A and B are shown apart, each in its own frame.
Chain A
């Protein structure tokens, strides 16, 4: 990777206060949904973000869009610090970052025609100068995502899930963004439709050079679309690697366990596989474990894991892992930060 990163996230934290009482609110703790996430995303690249439910993937996405206020950390977009911009200052930047949502049913207003949905970003940003140009642009966008232009007159409920997701993608494309955040964008679709949508994402990237932050819990989808993959566990990234490296040679025990859990679509092979299942439950995000977040469930736990929080160490844009097992890779650097 030679170019400057499009998006840099440094030690991002999003904590939600937990309060008790109605009138006199007492602060009794905080839900540490995102607790020190750092990653880079380069122009035209796809970074997959995987992890189980509740690990903070979507919260990260919302914080990047400034829909949630980060508790601490920095977000740089195109070299510019956007962490503390006001909502007004954020507006022009919203043209650059768009989002595609998980739920193809809830993400489109049922009372708006497809034309108005797809064209809404243009209207909001005052780009719909005259009616004819507006209609042309919307028709172009609708065609671009593989729908027919005369579908602009219809309402969302007349479409299937896959088609709706295409409408959502057309809306995200309207402003020609540099980055699209796909929050579980294909998880709600049938497998056959998933493949179509993933291919559409890839085609769009090839043509328009869009970068994706592709959030998912399905590793096979992520494997197909991502250039690099970041694995999250309990609010922190535990491993980042190019997708072929991650899948062929996982380093973090959690990544290994995740890959083990992917079923093989062959009953004979599947029954012969040696499963190394994780024990226990995901710990509470209100009181995360000391040291490495993963140590209570880790099959390869070391003594120091319960005290020292391993840092995500590695070359920028390359491979990095946050695990004491791999400390020797970077001269035994450990983290002095305690949660």
Chain B
């Protein structure tokens, strides 16, 4: 690191003066669009799906479970933009409503998972010692069960339903993800600034909140966004096995593995509509998460 002599008192002319009169959110969005166009696009796509989910009931042109014997397995048309399924339900309406369910399930479950990972990871990583030993052996034991087997067992005991799936998947991914958070916490804990805070006399809650958590934030963001995608897929898998959100409520996974798979040759739109939505959303949120992680890091500011 070479610095000019007199490094102390020379004002840095290159520093950008913060523009006043603009909210932080607006500035952040502008920065996102300028520095991370792909991430911004991902965010926009994701926002679009989120809004579709929120306003699904208003946007859906037909009832979700409204059947019409005259319009069975019709290809996309002006009347039915995404076509109809084997009992004449409008696929667009079902995709919208299914998106709503998938969003709720994936957000809640991924949020819960991230929270669980954070709590276990921080306790285990920061306090270490015997607590770490006990917690991590528990995590080891937990991780020896295959995800799906555990899910099937628990769902068949407590019965299928949205809340059950959120809690189970949240815990499942949360406990597995705690290992990643733990590693990040340990690496931050050993940095000099964490020691410095301790030598100043800061208590563990202060150190955790001001030093550890902000510095594992990038890990949490990536964990959350990848989990959102994963939960959508797991929910689809459970629906396929008849253990997801029970029919006739539409979910993307259920549509894909139910009617979509059965009528793939007669009506490919049945699989394409939910399948594409799933792919696009999962991809969008991953790109968005990456951009978010980069932008929230102060070190990346000012660099393109």
- The chain A residues found within 8 Å of chain B, CB to CB, are 65, 67, 90-91, 94-95, 98-99, 101-103, 106-112, 116, 120-121, 123-125, 145-148, 150, 153-155, 157-158, 160-163, 166, 168, 171, 175, 190, 192-193, 196
Contact = CB atoms under 8 A, between A and B. Distances in A.
Given A67-B198, A161-B3, 7 more contacts: A67-B195, A99-B196, A102-B192, A109-B193, A150-B11, A162-B7, A193-B7
A158 B215 contact: no
B199 A65 contact: yes
B121 to A, nearest CB: 18
Contact of B200 (A116, A120, A162, A163): A120
A94, A102, A109, A153: most-surrounded residue (chain B CB, <10 A): A109
Interface of B: 1-3, 5, 7-9, 11-12, 15, 18, 191-193, 195-203, 206, 210-211, 214-215, 217, 297-299, 301-302
Contact of B8 (A65, A91, A157, A162): A162
B1, B3, B193, B195: most-surrounded residue (chain A CB, <10 A): B193
A252 B1 CA distance: 37
A177 to B, nearest CB: 10
B3 A171 contact: no
Contacts of A95: 201
Contacts, number: 102
Contacts of B210: 109, 112, 116, 120
A65 B201 CA distance: 10
Contact of B214 (A94, A109, A190): A109
B193 A67 contact: no
B199 A98 contact: yes
B1 A190 contact: yes
A146 B8 contact: yes
Contact of B3 (A91, A147, A158, A162): A162
Contacts of B301: 155
B7 A106 contact: no
Contacts of B193: 106-109
Contacts of A175: 200
Contacts of B9: 146-148
Nearest to A116: B210
B298 A111 contact: yes
A101 B200 CA distance: 12
B3 A99 contact: no
B302 to A, nearest CB: 8
Contacts of A162: 3, 7-8
B214 A67 contact: no
Contacts of B5: 192-193, 196
B2, B12, B201, B210: most-surrounded residue (chain A CB, <10 A): B201
Contact of A160 (B3, B15, B215, B302): B3
